[in-house]
Chain A
């Protein structure tokens, strides 16, 4: 019979009706319940058996342990004792030394770090400068390349028309249709206009150049003419000044010629025959009484005149004065060979 109070082996006592349905649902048959009880009993028995066995083993183990303990407690026959003396140890001194050493090591480490820092800075500077150099060289190379490209482009630059033709060719090759109609005409008209302007500008430039050349040549000629006329003026001035400077002398000479021309014709000028030269004698001049003549100056070679009653002779060239010694001569004698050697030339 099923009581309301179910004593489930496995669960708690269900007294509330709420769990009745649950119990009914999980209802176990009586046989099954009995089987379970039986199994539980068997298990309990086995458990007890095990426990007994275990107890038994425990006891035997304890007995054995006691035996061992007894054996251990047996003392050896001899003992070894000793000690080690490691000397006096001053821990504070050791600590001070260790601190000093530590300080020293720290200082060395800082110095090493500072040196390393300097080396790092220097290397960093070098690296920066090298990087800048590299940048500069690269930039320069690029600039050169660009410049060359620009120049080559300039040299190869085609005119507007050529570029347009190239573009048309490219378009045709690509398969694009050439635009027809007013656009093309307009372009052609504009191109023609450009050509015309270009030609007009060229002609104008050529005309101006020619004009400037002509003007330059005219200026050159004008300057040459001015220079020639100034030269001629200067030449005339020079000639006229020379004329005016010499005019008085010319007038005098002309007057003298004119007055001479009044002489009667047939008058024969007296010409003294040049006496033979005599050797130069002493500083003084020896002549005959009442004799006049000339002698060459021993200093400058100028002719010195000797008057008939003169007591000295003076050279007009160098101012040399020569006393005259007069010898008694009755008549003028012909020049002998010996007298021809002296310097005095008498005048008759």
Chain B
């Protein structure tokens, strides 16, 4: 499903619905993305060690897409490292335990989320 259809949904449904359902939508996206075999403990460890971008790993141009549609959502107070680890607990408990036990990975995750929020704010301002 491409961005065209997503744009169409935004146009049809309206912002209010998207704002309310944004956490659920993002949850579904993350669950689906981490189910891939490529997303393993080793892979995440590599990403943490290399300080790579999480969103681009989960989705192609994930940072760009999330920034673009994040502007439509508005407030993202709910998006934090705890929320992300909570989503992983359900779908990938091993990855969740990695973030819980390995402090470096937790710090890295928090940074990734912060970067995303900052980009969205920049986009909104611009």
Interface positions of A (Cβ within 8 A of B): 247-263, 269-272, 292-294, 302-317, 321, 347-348
Contacts and interface: CB of A to CB of B under 8 A. Distances in A.
Contacts of A263: 60
Given A256-B28, A262-B61, A310-B101, 14 more contacts: A248-B28, A249-B25, A251-B28, A253-B32, A254-B1, A258-B1, A258-B3, A258-B6, A259-B61, A271-B37, A307-B48, A313-B101, A317-B93, A347-B45
B94 A258 contact: no
A316 B106 CA distance: 14
Contacts of A317: 93
Contacts of A248: 21, 23-25, 27-28
B17 to A, nearest CB: 9
A256 B97 contact: no
A309 B94 CA distance: 16
Contact of A314 (B5, B31, B100): B100
Most chain-B CB neighbours within 10 Å: which of A251, A269, A303?
A251
A303 B97 CA distance: 8
Interface in B18-48: 21, 23-33, 36-38, 40-43, 45, 48
A252 B60 contact: no
Nearest to B28: A252
A315 B25 CA distance: 27
B76 interface: no
A304 B95 CA distance: 8
Nearest to B93: A316
A181 to B, nearest CB: 100
A281 B48 CA distance: 28
Interface residues of B, number: 48
A248 B17 CA distance: 10
B65 interface: yes
A303 B2 CA distance: 35
Interface of B: 1-3, 5-6, 9, 21, 23-33, 36-38, 40-43, 45, 48-49, 59-62, 65, 85, 88-89, 93-98, 100-105
A302 B96 CA distance: 11
B32 A310 contact: no
Contacts of A316: 85, 88-89, 93-94, 96-97, 100
4 shortest interchain CB distances as A-B pairs: A252-B28, A258-B1, A248-B24, A307-B102
Contacts of B62: 259
Contacts of A293: 41
A168 to B, nearest CB: 96
Nearest to A303: B94
Contacts of A313: 97, 101
B72 to A, nearest CB: 13
A303 B92 CA distance: 9
Most chain-B CB neighbours within 10 Å: which of A260, A261, A293?
A260
B6 to A, nearest CB: 6
Contacts of A269: 36-38
Nearest to B61: A262
Given A259-B60, A272-B40, A310 B1 contact: no
A269 to B, nearest CB: 4
A305 B100 CA distance: 9
Given A308-B49, A316-B93, A270 B28 contact: no
Contact of A260 (B43, B60, B100, B101): B60
Given A259-B65, A316-B89, A307 B1 contact: no
A271 B38 CA distance: 6
19 contacts: A248-B24, A249-B24, A249-B28, A249-B31, A251-B28, A255-B6, A256-B29, A269-B37, A271-B38, A292-B41, A302-B94, A305-B97, A306-B101, A307-B48, A307-B105, A308-B45, A311-B103, A316-B93, A347-B41
